[in-house]
């Protein structure tokens, strides 16, 4: 005797029954790719910078060391920089993750990168504690115990073709991972060349990468106000007699000033009247 099994799912009167659709071959791969693309587009997603100008905001710095991958941490309790093995703190979800896909799992692994607008150098500040700056003295000693920024707290990031980043200090030496007595690892800042120990993987949040792109476009005039081409403007609005156009340094400065003050049309009319009077005098 067969027993009919009824679904326990609640249904409301008038609700239409949805038909299940079989997943076609290859559809699963496309949906997963689309899902990954959506995740990569999220503001808080950790991504690798393509240019030095993109390195800003929360920053995750790690390196494929000879022994095991390590990241630069700051121990706020002891006030010291620590080089922590990534595999030691790896959780089940990240054990099978490739090195370039690693993301920070603790706030002590995150540094905050700031820069002065237009400057190639950056400052690296601890993300925990009172916010101390990463610095390097003339002897190559690296520390994070200064609350104010100065020349020794400035770093110039250099992005290589393989996507790895080197940090050069004010003395034109590179930040590196050095092995000291007892097999301990520590940061140094006295390397002359950017080799394997001087290169790091850097990850930033996607929102700051997009912000850098927007600033670049704005600087190039793609998103901001269109630059004023006096020659073209004169030909359209002020040309007469075989489209004669007069351009001078003084007029250019005057028009730019008038544009900032919101009286560009008035200034151009005054200039046209002046040019006509000079012509017939």
Which of the four pLDDT bands, split at 50, 70 and 90, describes residue 271? confident
**In the predicted structure, residue 119 carries a pLDDT above the cut 90:** no
Least confident of 22-31, 129-138, 218-227: 22-31
**In the predicted structure, residue 2 carries a pLDDT above the cut 60:** no
Structural domains of the chain, ranges and CATH numbers in brackets: 46-219 (2.80.10.50), 230-280 (no CATH)
**In the predicted structure, residue 26 carries a pLDDT above the cut 50:** yes
pLDDT at residue 241, rounded to an integer: 47
Q: What are phi and psi of 159, to 5 degrees?
A: -95, 125
**In the predicted structure, residue 7 carries a pLDDT above the cut 60:** no
pLDDT at residue 276, rounded to an integer: 63
pLDDT at residue 239, rounded to an integer: 52
Cβ neighbours of residue 241 closer than 8 Å, sequence gap 6 or more:
none
Higher pLDDT, 230 or 203: 203
**In the predicted structure, residue 71 carries a pLDDT above the cut 60:** yes
**In the predicted structure, residue 127 carries a pLDDT above the cut 70:** yes
Q: Kindly report the average pLDDT of the chain as a whole number.
A: 79
**In the predicted structure, residue 12 carries a pLDDT above the cut 50:** no
Nearest Cα neighbor of 85 from 97, 68, 100, 107 is 68
248, with CB counted inside 10 A (0-12, 13-18, 19+), is: exposed
First to last CA, the chain: 116
Sequence-ordered alpha helix ranges (H) in the chain: 27-40, 206-219, 230-237, 249-261, 264-280
Q: Beta-strand (E) ranges in the chain? A: 46-47, 57-63, 70-75, 80-85, 110-114, 123-126, 133-136, 142-146, 156-159, 165-168, 174-179, 185-191, 201-205
Q: Provide mean pLDDT across the span 150-174.
A: 95
pLDDT at residue 4, rounded to an integer: 55
Which of the four pLDDT bands, split at 50, 70 and 90, describes residue 226? very low
Percent of residues, the chain, with pLDDT higher than 90: 42
Higher pLDDT, 30 or 268: 268
pLDDT at residue 138, rounded to an integer: 94
Least confident of 22-26, 152-156, 209-213: 22-26
pLDDT at residue 277, rounded to an integer: 67
**In the predicted structure, residue 31 carries a pLDDT above the cut 60:** no
pLDDT at residue 257, rounded to an integer: 81
Output the pTM of the full model: 0.64
Which of the four pLDDT bands, split at 50, 70 and 90, describes residue 109? very high
3-state DSSP helix/strand/coil percent for the chain, to nearest 5? Answer: 30, 25, 45
pLDDT at residue 89, rounded to an integer: 56
Which of the four pLDDT bands, split at 50, 70 and 90, describes residue 24? low
pLDDT at residue 94, rounded to an integer: 53
């Amino acid at each position: 005797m067969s027993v009919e099994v009824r679904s326990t799912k609640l249904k409301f009167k008038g609700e239409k029954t949805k038909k299940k659709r079989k997943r076609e071959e290859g559809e699963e791969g496309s949906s997963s790719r689309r899902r990954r693309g959506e995740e990569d587009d999220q503001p808080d997603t950790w991504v690798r910078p393509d240019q030095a100008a993109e390195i800003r905001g929360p920053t995750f710095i790690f390196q494929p060391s000879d022994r095991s991958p390590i990241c630069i941490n700051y121990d706020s309790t002891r006030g010291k920089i620590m080089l922590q093995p990534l595999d030691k703190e790896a959780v089940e979800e990240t054990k099978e993750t490739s090195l370039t896909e690693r993301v920070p799992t603790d706030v002590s692994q995150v540094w905050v990168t700031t820069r002065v607008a237009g400057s190639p150098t950056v400052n690296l500040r601890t993300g925990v504690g009172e916010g101390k700056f990463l610095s390097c003295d003339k002897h190559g000693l690296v520390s994070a115990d200064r609350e104010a920024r100065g020349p020794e707290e400035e770093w110039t990031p250099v992005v290589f073709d393989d996507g790895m980043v080197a940090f050069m200090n004010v003395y034109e030496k590179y930040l590196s991972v050095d092995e000291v007595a007892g097999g301990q690892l520590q940061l140094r800042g006295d390397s002359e060349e950017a080799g394997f120990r001087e290169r790091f993987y850097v990850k930033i949040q996607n929102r700051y990468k997009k912000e850098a792109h927007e600033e670049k476009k704005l600087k190039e005039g793609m998103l901001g106000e269109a630059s004023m081409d006096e020659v073209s403007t004169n030909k359209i609005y002020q040309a007469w007699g075989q489209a004669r156009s007069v351009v001078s340094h003084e007029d250019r400065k005057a028009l730019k000033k008038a544009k900032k003050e919101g009286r560009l049309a008035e200034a151009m009319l005054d200039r046209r009247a002046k040019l006509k009077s000079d012509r017939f005098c």
